[in-house]
Structure 1
Amino acid sequence: MPMQMGRLKSLRTLSAFVVGKSTGSTIGELMELSHLRGKLSILNLQNVVDARDALQANLKDKKDLKVLELAWGADNADDSQKEKDVFDNLQPCMNLEELTIRFYGGTNFPNWLGDKSFSNIQFMHLHDCSNCWSLPPVGGLPALKELRVGRMKSVQTIGVEFYGSTGSSLVQPFQSLEKLQFYRMPEWEEWVSSGSGGADFPCLQQLILKECPKLRGSLPHDLPFLKKLSVKGCGVLLLHDQRAASTRNMDSYKSLKELKIEDGCHTSVLSLSETKFMSELEIRNFNDIQCLPNINHLQRLTLWNCPTLSSFSKDGLPATLTSLSIYNCRRLEFLPHEMLAKLTSLDYLWIQNSCDSMRSFPLGIFPKLTALIIGNCENLESLCLIEERAVENLSHLNGLHISGCPNLVCFPRGGLPTPNLTWLKVGECDKLKSFPESIHTLTALQYLDINNLPNLESIAEDGGLPPNLQYFYIHNCERLRASSSSVGNYCNWGLQALVSLEQVTIGGRGSDEILETLLKQQLLPTTLHTLCIYQLSTLKSLDGKGLAHLTFLRSLSITRCNRLEFLPGEALQHLTSLQLLFISECDSIQFLPEEGLPPSLSYLSISNCSALEKRYQNKTGRDHWASISHVPSIQINDEVIII
């Protein structure tokens, strides 16, 4: 900070004040800044030489400050008593609403922290106070709504002092607290109740416990308004005192709607999923579960990396379910079709690295499904239509993504009866030879991505691509070839008629011939905005005739085409709308067209092209530099040249 900050006596906004060490502003400079308002962060408090200097900051009289952060250095080596004295003297005004403490090195907190006279504090964050062995009595703050405590490495017990009252006191602790979070408390073992006889957190709606591996015992037993509970990395924590009746436990969490358990939590926590109003359950990295409990009212279910899970509950999944995500649960037996048919509310389904026994997936079994994602299901062989109402049910589907299914052979015969499908992505299916029939009937389709389909031989041969397609991607489809006719099956793609097509991306194995045919026959639509060409190993030149007619093209990207030697200068001159040109990893290109680049070009990027870098980076060769000097912004690797 500049010296003599204290002379700015009318200053109202100062987001951060950094305490100087040997030079710069001392904390006493804050004394005269009585008009500061809003938020203030005081940083590097370890540089305060004398605790009496902190008293000169006069924070008590800064009545317009609403948000205050007090932070010491992360590698603070000062003695804890001096830090305690400094903290004592930084007591703010009672009007404060938010307080954050970071890297405080004292062993305990000052007496004013948690004082009930701070009646406006609504948010408090205590972070990385590694030497403190106890928490301040913040339970007596009447307006406190959110409390976050993390990385308190010396705290082993949270006792009655935390609640701001003794066991005999009639004062209700945490009377306004709605959100409570503890995280990364490696030595925390015991959580003691207030002993007041009532609920310790009467208004709590969200409780988050993360990475508290030694915390034993049970959660607070009376949380009548708790709606969200997240427990991660608390392996010895129990849901409740196992001696207590289970019905009492359920009554304690009667408002719970969302439960997230993760990383080695005790299985007893799972019993909460049976509470009456539970609508969302998420289980991640859980090794000790084989069967789900009864989940009668769920709307959202996420199962992530549960290697021992083999079955759902005996009654299957609830009909209320709208979202189901299953990842890396290979032993899980997928539900039989008759049980799946009961999921009449399902809107979103994601299955990846799971359900190894599934060989066929019944499309159209869910009447309200809008998004279906199936990935890395190694034994999946087919997608089928078996339900009488399958065609009607598929009318809601607008997203379909199939990838990593090496044994998938076919789509349903007759095509996909999905009139509202807007995006379709199929990739990494080694045995798939053909695309859905009559794909041109998918008039709502805007995004089509086909990648890593080594045996795919044909697409859109019976009517062309969907008429309203906007984005078209092809990558690593090496057997996709032109037929023996003059234009081949590319003519049947109907690209020229796709007036809505904005972007075409072509790359990978087999795509050289595809691009050459599209350019030779001028099959790309004139309305195209973006063309991306990448990873074409045999392409030596671009057919200028196939580019010249793209007068609406705005962006051209050429990447990893190692044999490409030159760009068609005359054709580029016809691209009167071109604004962006990207050339990357094309070492065989020696120079840019002598005819120059289009006058409309506003940005040129050259990266990892050794010959081009040498020629243009130092502006050597006047003739060559003149051909691009009209471009306002040129980037060569990390260097940006503004003309």
Structure 2
Amino acid sequence: MPSLLCLRVLTLSEYDNIVELPNSIGNLIHLHYLNLSNTGIKRLPSTVCTLYSLQTLLLAGCWSLFELPADMRKLINLRHLDCSGTQIEEMPVQMGRLKSLRILTIFVVGKSTGSTIGELRELSHLGGKLSILKLNNVVDGTDALQANLKNKKDLNELELAWGSEDADHSEKVRGVLDKLQPCMNLEKLTVKRYGGTSFPNWLGDSAFNKIKVMHLEDCHYCFELPPLGQLLALKELFICKMKFLRTLGPEFCGQPFQPFQSLEKLEFKEMAEWEEWVLSGSGGPEFPRLQELILKQCPKLRGSLPYDLPSLKKLIVKGCGVLHDQRATATTNTSTSLNYNCLEELEIEDGCQTGLLSLLETKLLSNLYIRHFNDIQCLPNINRLKSLILSNCPTLLSFPEDGLPTSLTSLDIYRCRRLEFLPHEMLAQLTALDSLTLWNSCDSMRSFPLGIFPKLTTLDIRNCENLESLCLIEEEGAVENLSHLNNLNIEGCPNLVCFPQGGLPTPNLTQLCFSRCEKLKSLPERIHTLTALRLLDIRDLPNLESIAEDGGLPPNLRYFTIEHCERLRASSSSVGDWGLQELVSLEEFIIGGGGNDEILETLLKQQLLPTTLHYLRIKELSTLKSLYGRGLAHLTFLRSLSIGRCDSLEFLPGEALQHLTSLQELYISNCPSLQFLPEEGMPPSLSYLHIYKCSGLEKMYQNKTRQDHWASISHIPCIRINDEVII
């Protein structure tokens, strides 16, 4: 690096092929900023520690980095050290000498040779976020007190985490956490894998009036929570994996008359033994501003939710099989016991009792997600819903008797096979429906009525095994209704055989996709009339015999894919009828799969691909031995060429490649028969070459052993072979 001696900033982030730095890095004595984030770096040379002017060292996301150089203490001007997302096992010794540090994202406490927690004492200017890891290596409370966290007034985020091994739940570990009390200015606190049976008094002290976010995770042995209701600024609280907690009682709220005055989001997750949620009975709502309540995997929690949540907008309950709402209890006989009047979104999943469905009467409810219900046959009436998602409800047979609300704009149904699709007259009432998704559902449906929804823009039908046809309803306005449809996707419907006679009257359709429809022999008629169509995707249609032979492909098509259509005719006359060469807007063409080898050969030999094509993807053509050069050479606007899984491909046409003066990227993968690249070399415009799992090419180029062949590609700025960038 002799020409870089005056360098002050060096950024190598995101280059995952960089696994080490040369020792000569130490010659950059004026370097102030070094960014190695998200690289494959495994170690830093000791000469890094001679960069005495260095102020910023960024190592975030270096997953292969397990240690820092031993002499880090010499970087006395270092102000910012980010080691988050690394595997560093302990800090180097005497980190406390780095008194200029303002940002230190993690500090890993060492057992013996590494830094003890006392090294933090002298780092009085630390601010931002600090994670102190492996607190199990702290000797005792006296040792912890040396960190002097109380006086680090610029810290606003603090994480305190013990090791992943079995936590010590003795009094010692409680003493450690007690002496790690931070400054009152803290805004976010996370405690992980704490092994004590109770929390110290400072956790929940009302003097911490700036804490907005708190996470308590994997504190297995604690049998109660601190009085967090006293934290007046707390907005978000996350509690996870407290295995010994069985009852959440009034102690959670603490002393104030109205606890949790600012709390907006509360989440409990994986609380295996939690059985009871006892409210304090203070008289007013205990969570007056709570907007989001999430309960996940609390299998023993019984009884009811808090009854008075006047600000609640979102409720998610998953894996809480014995929980039900207040109205489902024997002691209550009132229809107004739950004050959830602001509820807008409800998500219930994994066997929660159907008592929660009574919340569907909430007037403002607009989004409903029901998943994994095994004991529901008919949905109750729903008022002003806008979005409805039903998933994995094997016993569900019918929609509400009065139909779905006319306000519905999105309806998604997944794996509800016994569900009867809505009758014609009820479908017609869904005048606001914008998106409809049917996956693995409604087995009784044989035909889908197109044109019944006046505002439908997206229709996605997948794995409806008995669907045979898409038909146009014989009613006034049906054709006009279809003018809104933009996206039509049909996948995995093995019995689909026909479309409306005369084609699809969908003038504004922009995306059309068909795949895995085994009996389908032809696409809709007059597809060329779909002048708004931009994407046509045809995959896995083994009996498809023809496409676009009654007028050609849509004239404004930009993206066209054909894969695994074995019976599609490849004669020059039928392929010529597609009119590909006239599609001046076509940017990307993908072709692959069994039976399509001949189609590609015809397209190239007859020069039927448009010269304006930008991206060409060729894959899984097992009998393809070479690319016809003449048909390839005229693609002078081609920017990217990708060839993959062509087992028989033996050579590329060098002279034709030279004509691709716009080519910037070439990808070759899984082509074992390809032994070398063209001797004529690659076009000078090529800036990126990626060779992946091509054994012959790897032997030829990976180690630059054949200089005569390497010379033909050496001008390419970036060459990548498998996961290694060759420099």
Amino acid aligned to 2:405: P
The correspondence of residues 6-25 of structure 1 with structure 2, limited to 5 A, is 6-25=96-115
Residue 610 of structure 2 corresponds to 525
Can you list the C-alpha shifts for 1:238-272, whole angstroms capped at 9, x where unaligned? 1113321241235x222211110011111111111
Residue 60 of structure 2 corresponds to none
* Percent identical: 73
2:450 aligns with one of 363, 366, 380: 363
Amino acid aligned to 2:121: M
2:485 aligns with one of 374, 388, 397: 397
So what's the TM-score if we normalise by structure 2? 0.85
Is this contact kept in 2: 1:274–1:293, CA < 8 A? no
1:420 aligns with one of 508, 512, 515: 508
| 2:94 is the counterpart of 1:4 | yes
So what's the TM-score if we normalise by structure 1? 0.96
2:280 aligns with one of 194, 212, 221: 194
Unaligned ranges ≥5, structure 2: 1-90
Is this contact kept in 2: 1:46–1:76, CA < 8 A? no
My pick for the range that moved more, 236-245 or 134-143, is 236-245
Is this contact kept in 1: 2:157–2:189, CA < 8 A? yes
SS of residue in 2 equivalent to 1:623: helix
2:165 aligns with one of 75, 85, 104: 75
Is this contact kept in 2: 1:278–1:298, CA < 8 A? yes
1:229 aligns with one of 312, 315, 319: 315
**Alpha-carbon distance in 2 for matches of 1:245, 1:68:** 47
Is this contact kept in 1: 2:167–2:194, CA < 8 A? no
Residue 436 of structure 2 corresponds to 349
Residue 567 of structure 2 corresponds to 479
Is this contact kept in 2: 1:30–1:57, CA < 8 A? yes
**Alpha-carbon distance in 2 for matches of 1:184, 1:118:** 27
The correspondence of residues 538-617 of structure 1 with structure 2, limited to 5 A, is 538-617=623-702
Residue 524 of structure 1 and its aligned partner are, at CA, apart by: 0.7
**Alpha-carbon distance in 2 for matches of 1:27, 1:82:** 15
**Alpha-carbon distance in 2 for matches of 1:613, 1:43:** 43
**Alpha-carbon distance in 2 for matches of 1:68, 1:565:** 59
SS of residue in 2 equivalent to 1:493: coil
SS of residue in 1 equivalent to 2:708: helix
| 2:37 is the counterpart of 1:37 | no
Is this contact kept in 1: 2:702–2:726, CA < 8 A? no
**Alpha-carbon distance in 1 for matches of 2:137, 2:590:** 56
2:363 aligns with one of 271, 276, 296: 276
Residue 590 of structure 1 and its aligned partner are, at CA, apart by: 2.4
My pick for the range that moved more, 30-39 or 309-318, is 30-39
Residue 77 of structure 1 and its aligned partner are, at CA, apart by: 4.0
**Alpha-carbon distance in 1 for matches of 2:145, 2:696:** 65
**Alpha-carbon distance in 2 for matches of 1:432, 1:15:** 58
**Alpha-carbon distance in 2 for matches of 1:566, 1:592:** 7
Residue 613 of structure 1 and its aligned partner are, at CA, apart by: 2.2
2:496 aligns with one of 369, 390, 408: 408
Residue 601 of structure 2 corresponds to 516
Unaligned ranges ≥5, structure 1: none
Amino acid aligned to 1:307: P
The alpha-carbon distance between structure 1 residues 242 and 321, as it changes in their structure 2 partners (threshold 3 A), is farther
Is this contact kept in 1: 2:168–2:196, CA < 8 A? no
SS of residue in 1 equivalent to 2:201: coil
**Alpha-carbon distance in 1 for matches of 2:303, 2:169:** 35
**Alpha-carbon distance in 2 for matches of 1:5, 1:638:** 36
Is this contact kept in 1: 2:140–2:173, CA < 8 A? no
The correspondence of residues 178-257 of structure 1 with structure 2, limited to 5 A, is 178-240=264-326, 241-250=329-338, 252-257=339-344
Residue 467 of structure 1 corresponds to 555
SS of residue in 1 equivalent to 2:104: coil
Residue 91 of structure 1 corresponds to 181
Residue 599 of structure 1 and its aligned partner are, at CA, apart by: 2.0
**Alpha-carbon distance in 1 for matches of 2:344, 2:417:** 28
| 2:720 is the counterpart of 1:635 | yes
Amino acid aligned to 2:301: L
Can you list the C-alpha shifts for 1:407-428, whole angstroms capped at 9, x where unaligned? 1111111221222211111111
Residue 430 of structure 1 and its aligned partner are, at CA, apart by: 1.4
SS of residue in 2 equivalent to 1:361: strand
SS of residue in 2 equivalent to 1:430: coil
Residue 610 of structure 1 and its aligned partner are, at CA, apart by: 2.3
Amino acid aligned to 1:323: S
Residue 76 of structure 1 and its aligned partner are, at CA, apart by: 4.4
Can you list the C-alpha shifts for 1:64-105, whole angstroms capped at 9, x where unaligned? 221111111121443521110011111111111111111111
Can you list the C-alpha shifts for 1:152-184, whole angstroms capped at 9, x where unaligned? 11111111111113xxxx621111111110000
Is this contact kept in 2: 1:445–1:468, CA < 8 A? yes
**Alpha-carbon distance in 1 for matches of 2:93, 2:671:** 54
Is this contact kept in 2: 1:634–1:640, CA < 8 A? yes
Can you list the C-alpha shifts for 1:465-512, whole angstroms capped at 9, x where unaligned? 1222111100111121145xxx31222212112122111100012211
**Alpha-carbon distance in 2 for matches of 1:599, 1:202:** 67
Can you list the C-alpha shifts for 1:350-376, whole angstroms capped at 9, x where unaligned? 001000011110111111111100011
**Alpha-carbon distance in 1 for matches of 2:301, 2:490:** 42
